[in-house]
Amino acid sequence: MSAQQTTARFTLDPAFAVSEVDPRLFGSFVEHLGRCVYTGIYEPGHPAADAAGLRTDVLDLVRELGVTAIRYPGGNFVSGYKWEDSVGPKEDRPRRLDLAWRSTESNQFGLSEFIDFVRKVGGTPMMAVNLGTRGVAEALELQEYANHPAGTALSDLRAAHGDKDPFDIKLWCLGNEMDGPWQTGHKTAEEYGRLAAETARAMRQIDPSVELVACGSSNSGMDTFAQWEATVLEHAYELVDHVSLHAYYEERNGDRDSFLASAVDTESFIEKIVATCDHVGAKLKSKKKINLSFDEWNVWYMNPEAPAHTDPPQEDWAEAPRLLENHYSVVDAVVFGSLLIALLRHADRVKVACLAQLVNVIAPILAEPGGPAWKQTTYFPFAAASKYGRGTVLDVRPDSPTYETEQFGTVDLLHTTAVKNDETGEVTIFAVNRSQTRALPLEAVLHGLDLTRVVEHSVLSDEDPDARNTLENTERVAPHAATGTTLTDGTLSATLEPLSWNVIRLA
């Protein structure tokens, strides 16, 4: 913190806006990985299971979470996926080895079950096609099976399987992380760019209105970062709508100050890919603008020694093993909230984003087989952002005290954005105080906004920043109301608790 400044300040004015929020910014991700599907969203025989085997306790939590687009079936899993295995009578579906996660896939939950799940939670499907071990023909067959109304072999097969109405999948991912050497069917940028373009062109011949996502770099640390996107887009620029971004963060070597500033990297990542897309567009003399699909993001503890990492030792080829079941703390939730703020601050170009993943696997919801389901700490920022982050993002440029980080240098203590509800005129401020020890006074001047009162100031913080919600104590951590927040003569005054995620609603 600078010695000269102790209060964070900014101005809100509806004349200065970033963009309207695409509701798909609040998407999530269901992959056949660990227990995300089996004993997560799907568990026939569970006391809360419906007739289709979906856990109604989990469905309720997903609805409250406010998830929109749901990406499926992967992830790394998709690069070995045979969609035909996942349709038709369950007793006829084959068991397969999943190379991505060295597990056995029963295919008892498949395409029809996924669509049923999406409809029940009020979401929209985002389907990935396998461009690892398969290609154009298989993508077209899946598209025809899923979307064609009737009168062809594959659309009639869907009807014979019990789904007369088309699935109406409009948003498609052209593979997953194809730049990654770990990916089954890994390709060079030239190879993938040509394949993505060929697949996109063919899919548009069936339906010109589909939205298509080309694989960007698996993360910003890849050796081919940015050059990969440039090469792929030189092949596919006019044929795709979005480029994907993936990013995960964890606290490393006890450097919590840098971890709390993770969104600095997120915003830089977004801005670099926007620049790359626009460079290619200029080079091609195109009038089209490519947007971003940040379709994997989260806090993910990959280090087995981390307190959040709870996976037991695994046997190869197990069915639905416990994998990546991170248990999130208050500090994780604050970082998570900051990542949401980063996405909203770039809503002009980030049109789709998917929290990875939805249940059990690095997820905001945990569920025990035969037992309860409950909210992790990260559940609360997402639910609040999805509920109150619909509308127009205002351009917020804070003047904030700063602190020093090993990884990112000098960083603002305040990370914030604001969203104006275009129907009611209400404004919601989302704010994070990155200081671990000091409360942060906040003043915001409001211009051109007919706002007179504070509806709510909700805070997620705790005296124990490592507190978690567990099976033994599922409600240990929850947001609480702040006191002393006022709105007088167009000036908002508040105090942000140390290491906190804040939702301030003004009407």
Catalytic residues: 177, 296
- Gap between the Cα atoms of 480 and 461, Å rounded: 8
DSSP 267-336: HHHHHHHHHHHHHHHHHTT-----EEEEEEEEE----TTSTT--PPP--TTBSS---S----BHHHHHHH
- Gap between the Cα atoms of 19 and 266, Å rounded: 18
- Gap between the Cα atoms of 34 and 104, Å rounded: 10
Q: Work out the angle at residue 103's Cα, subtended by the Cα atoms of residues 97 and 109, and round it to the nearest 5 degrees.
A: 80
DSSP code of 399?
A: B
Task: Of 216, 363, 256, give the one whose Cα is nearest residue 299.
Answer: 363
- Gap between the Cα atoms of 205 and 380, Å rounded: 42
Q: How many other CB atoms sit within 10 Å of the CB of residue 285?
A: 6
**φ, ψ at 492 (rounded to 5°):** -90, 130
DSSP 92-121: GPPPEEETTTTEEE--SS-HHHHHHHHHHH
Pairing state between β 373-375 and 365-367? antiparallel
- Please enumerate in sequence order all residues whose Cβ is within 8 A of that of 321, keeping only pairs 6 or more positions apart, or say none: 34, 35, 103, 314, 315
Output the 3-class SS for 70-92: EEECCCHHHHHCCHHHHCCCHHH
Q: Which two tokens stand for residue 163?
A: 């789904």
Residue appearing with tokens 């899946």 = 142
Burial class (CB in 10 A: 0-12, 13-18, 19+), 483: exposed
CB 109 within 8 A of CB 38: yes
CB 412 within 8 A of CB 365: no
Half-sphere exposure in the Cβ direction for 363 (13 Å, CA): 31
C-alpha torsion angle, residues 39, 45, 50, 53 (rounded to 10): 50
Q: How many other CB atoms sit within 10 Å of the CB of residue 305?
A: 6
- Gap between the Cα atoms of 214 and 221, Å rounded: 18
Q: How many other CB atoms sit within 10 Å of the CB of residue 283?
A: 12
